[in-house]
Structure 1
């Protein structure tokens, strides 16, 4: 890949990420949520109660970020945390009735954001897009070992 192609790709990914997050923030603000909190609530709706460390892994977030999110969501009444029976240092996180009701609205907003984001993309491309994006995310996952650099700088 030459520099111009690499630059165009990296810029497109950067701008999509920034604009998607900003649009998500605008949709979440009326619900009193910040980006990232919706992912935590939706994960709990999908999986049921889980240990905070497992939630951190599932979300791909650092544990301190999940701790901060859970504190805020607990203060707003959307989740509750309790000590894990097997390990009193670990916390089990679960949705409250308020959190369960909120996830219904989050699903609607998340679907609307996805539809808005992919407007104009052909159906056959859209069908492949989640797999492509998952591969790209795995390629830049900082939690996995790096491939040895082949020494070329692309010039």
Structure 2
């Protein structure tokens, strides 16, 4: 039934809802360390991410969508702004006040410094990520505890992908 529903949706010309865009991920030095492909759906965004070996420190790393598609300040990535849809007291997937639209699960970086992730967020749609100033996918130096304010103790910004 689900496959028939997808086939019917494609036959009706809803391919715009399934549009995919690929963006390069820049590391601390501003050089490409990987890529992220975002696929829009009627209910959110599918995220497919790959980071090359040697690019990040091993362990869990906070990952969020930020409000501006600006990764021009390599090593800091503060021009990417706050989290997408920032709401006072709302950061974190485990926060009792609810998550922000930019909140995502932690990225797990392997011992060789590489990472892969395939996940889905229903908190924000691809067209919202690309609207106005665009947005950025930002990876942080530490893991996100999903409750602390303002960024879940995720630390410095170590990688960035401008989404336009």
TM-score (norm 1): 0.30
- Higher RCO (CA < 8 A, seq sep 6+): 2
**Which one has a larger percent helix, Structure 1 or Structure 2?**
1
**Which one has a larger percent strand, Structure 1 or Structure 2?**
2
Q: Which structure's CA Rg is the greater one?
A: 1
TM-score (norm 2): 0.28
